[in-house]
Structure 1
Amino acid sequence: MSQITIGSFEDFEKFIGQELGTSDYHQITQSQINKFADATIDHQWIHTDPERAKAEGSFGDTIAHGYLTLSLVPYLWDQIVRVENLKMMVNYGIENLRFAQAVLVNNEVRLSANLKNVVNLRGTIKAEVNVKLEIKDQRKPAFTGVLVFLYHFG
């Protein structure tokens, strides 16, 4: 994995319409699922009860919360793009988010990103990034969408 370095609007502009990269794989463990369940107070058995999930669930095992997979974006995004000269970054929105396939416990996921557009809004940089969370050895991704970030450079 090679990381792209961005330090200005002009740096971003060079990548419009291009693949930015792909993160390393990250394995989703039952411990991580359980901690996310505790943090979000979402203890639905398809996430937290391996025995019941194997016996009664339609996936054959526990699955990660969709929002757990989404919450990995900052960690995985930082593996793709290193932003320098930054005062502040704000997660501004998510457009067209679709959860396409469940992520089973112990699956490995990685983020791939393509820069859709970047706009200079009077010094605040709005970056729209097409993302896909790929599941190792699976054809369908866990999710797809467009992430919108606001960057304030120093």
Structure 2
Amino acid sequence: MTDPNGLIRPGRPAPGFTLPATPDGRQVGPEQFRGHPVVLAFYPADWTPVCGDQMALYQAAMPELERYDAVVLGISVDSRWSHQAFADSRGIRFPLLADFEPKGEVARRYGAYTPQGQAARALVVVDRQGTVAWTQLSPADVNPGVDGILDALDRLAAGRQVVAG
């Protein structure tokens, strides 16, 4: 089920998936990180200024995110080759997953797919047990930053309920 903004609702089981993460086709998905909070960062496209800044911000914030034992997975409908070049150009070391074929299938399952045929700028935090704990949908031209993610991770670490952003 989705909430009024279209995203999957907190409290629901996170849909399982694996997607290509590298040009050689290595598959990655949140189930591989069970026992860790997982941040799913859906974004519209590689090579756009807002997306580049957003993913670079998450890379810069990685020491703080790792303090919560969190894993970040970026997801867009771009190809794995585009992701590799984009990651190399921006110094991004966390996995960027290619929701490429069938286009946007995972984004659709999370309620994060747009009529324009791309992923919405959406954040989903999945708790250690695989349940959606927090979501946030942002306008395509707005970098959502990292504060909401850190707040959600802080609430999870403290055992407090997390709500949609």
TM-score interval, normalised by the smaller of the two chains: under 0.3
TM-score, length of structure 1 as denominator length: 0.23
Higher strand fraction (1 or 2):
1
